[in-house]
Chains A and B, each alone.
Chain A
Amino acid sequence: MSEGLSIGFLELTGCSTCLENVLLHEKLSGILGGLGSVKYWPSHGYTEEPDSLDVLFVSGAVRSRGQVEKLKKLRDKTRVLVAYGTCSIYGGLIGLTALIDASSRSGEFLETVKTVPDIVEPDILVTGCPPTRDQLDELAGVIKDYLENGKPRGKVFIGNRNSLCRDCPRKPRDPYRFEMPSIKRDHELVEDDGRCFLEQGILCLGPVTSSGCGHLCILRGRPCMGCNGPARGVVDQGLNYISSIGSILLKSMERIRMFDYFAAEMDKLVDPMGYLYRYTLPKSLLTELALKKRGVGEK
């Protein structure tokens, strides 16, 4: 079936190293026909744009007008378009620049950072920075199905969309007594006692992040940074998160201490934007508001 497939890789703005993992994954690479099927990959020496592609993997966020055009053009030539990696879907780390107006540097740039689904309709979306081996296993199955059974209907998200907390090995046993006793900054976690990070005062984005990664960080003693994007039902990672924090921070002190006591604790969170939107800033409602306030996109 992989006979004569034509595969492309399009790198937009981002590091795009995650794309390499596609061909390094035995199952996926096997279905695609390996290196022999690659027809387009500008940074890797395949610079000629083909007339049609069976599968196109797009990584990175959209920053320039040229990228918008290229993406649209390649969408028309492609059977299965895979938005690959968090940058392409939510902006990823590059998305942190969504509020930098690059268009003031050169007319070629957009006024903000866009994502692939903002421009064209992808058939398959794979989150992760980078997507994990298990996600690629699933992706391989879906691509195989798509190639065998014709043009796909609708779009498919690869990976579990439940929140990380749901199956977290650190999940607190008694949700009613569950409390965040303080706010600590990331580097202040020096002795991980194995409990839920929130119970240790550490901001773990697990409650609002989808668990496509299989708890990769949490299993290695690190709180989630949100790289798989919002879990099902989450409208905005940061806003939904502060809503949760509002419920559990210093819960036992409610009705006992005054507001300034809580305020003082919350002041320890010096950079909420960095903590809460490290991977999804372009998709935040606050970004939408900030851009609207500046008049971006109205003309």
Chain B
Amino acid sequence: MTWEPWLIGFLEKWTAGLAAESAGVNRVRYSPNIVLINIPCPSRLSPVHIVKAFLAGADGVYIGGSMPPANCHYKVGNYKTFKRMYLLKKLMAQFGIEPERLRMDWYVSPMYRALAKNIDEFVETIKKLGPITSRERVDGL
């Protein structure tokens, strides 16, 4: 059985989340290897959640926030998220876990094509990196 990456994405519901919906409405395809979850604000995500996602078997974790950063629905959420994820990536690198497995992009709601493209790109990146654990995934999505 060939390995297929399994990714999880957290989208800020006011922008990236809306973009994902628009992608559906507009029949824009993106990779089925990712599971997207809408949340009010990515700053609610703790680095603990991200690492637990990896431990649960996610080969990559995606975060979609709002653009411009200062446009955050909760004013400063994007900044908190950026700082946390930036530090987390630094830590991951020291532990020998490729920081590229964690990706953040920023959106306004009409950017559904960009969202689809970024996700596909990210899936490709993860495919190149290979599975996060040595175990072969047997279960599907």
A residues near B (Cβ < 8 Å) are 99, 235-236, 238-240, 242-243, 245-247, 249, 251, 254-255, 258-259, 262-263, 266, 269, 271-273, 276, 285-290, 292-295, 298
Select the stretch in B6-14, B28-36, B68-76, B112-120 that faces chain A.
B68-76
Cβ of B25: which chain A residues have Cβ within 8 Å of it? Answer: none
Cβ of A288: which chain B residues have Cβ within 8 Å of it? Answer: 55
With A246-B80, A255-B76, A295-B133 as known contacts, state yes or no: A273 contacts B87, CB within 8 Å: no
Q: How far is the CA of A61 from the CA of B125 in the complex (A)?
A: 38
Q: Chain B interface mostly helix, strand, loop or mixed?
A: helix
Q: B40-63: which have CB < 8 Å to A? A: 43, 46-48, 51-52, 54-55
Cβ of A273: which chain B residues have Cβ within 8 Å of it? Answer: 91, 94-95
A285 B90 Cβ-Cβ under 8 A? no
Who on chain A is nearest to B69 by CB? Answer: A259
> With an 8 A cutoff between CB atoms, is B134 at the interface?
yes
**B residues contacting the other copy or chain, number (CB 8 A):** 32
Q: How far is the CA of A272 from the CA of B86 in the complex (A)?
A: 12
Cβ of B46: which chain A residues have Cβ within 8 Å of it? Answer: 239-240, 243
Cβ of A286: which chain B residues have Cβ within 8 Å of it? Answer: 51, 91-92, 95, 97
B87 A236 Cβ-Cβ under 8 A? no
Cβ of A263: which chain B residues have Cβ within 8 Å of it? Answer: 86
A293 B132 Cβ-Cβ under 8 A? yes
B134 A285 Cβ-Cβ under 8 A? no
Cβ of A262: which chain B residues have Cβ within 8 Å of it? Answer: 79, 82-83, 86
Q: Chain A interface mostly helix, strand, loop or mixed?
A: helix
Q: How far is the CA of A60 from the CA of B109 in the complex (A)?
A: 54
Cβ of A293: which chain B residues have Cβ within 8 Å of it? Answer: 96-97, 132-134
Total number of residue pairs linking A and B with CB closer than 8 Å:
104
Cβ of A238: which chain B residues have Cβ within 8 Å of it? Answer: 91
A101 to chain B, nearest CB (A): 12
A242 B84 Cβ-Cβ under 8 A? yes
Q: Of B43, B47, B75, B83, which one neighbours A255 at CB under 8 angstroms? A: B75
Cβ of B27: which chain A residues have Cβ within 8 Å of it? Answer: none
B51 A285 Cβ-Cβ under 8 A? yes
21 pairs across A/B with beta carbons < 8 Å?
A: A99-B96, A238-B91, A239-B91, A242-B47, A243-B46, A243-B47, A245-B83, A246-B43, A255-B76, A259-B82, A273-B91, A285-B52, A285-B55, A286-B51, A286-B97, A288-B55, A289-B97, A290-B96, A293-B96, A293-B97, A293-B134
Q: Of A99, A285, A287, which one neighbours B48 at CB under 8 angstroms? A: A285
> With an 8 A cutoff between CB atoms, is B15 at the interface?
no
A276 B51 Cβ-Cβ under 8 A? no
> With an 8 A cutoff between CB atoms, is B81 at the interface?
yes
B97 A242 Cβ-Cβ under 8 A? no
Q: How far is the CA of A236 from the CA of B47 in the complex (A)?
A: 10
A239 B88 Cβ-Cβ under 8 A? yes
> With an 8 A cutoff between CB atoms, is B128 at the interface?
no
A294 B134 Cβ-Cβ under 8 A? yes
Cβ of A243: which chain B residues have Cβ within 8 Å of it? Answer: 46-48, 84
Cβ of A287: which chain B residues have Cβ within 8 Å of it? Answer: 95
Q: How far is the CA of A287 from the CA of B95 in the complex (A)?
A: 7
B123 to chain A, nearest CB (A): 19
Cβ of A249: which chain B residues have Cβ within 8 Å of it? Answer: 83
Cβ of A276: which chain B residues have Cβ within 8 Å of it? Answer: 91
Q: How far is the CA of A262 from the CA of B78 in the complex (A)?
A: 12
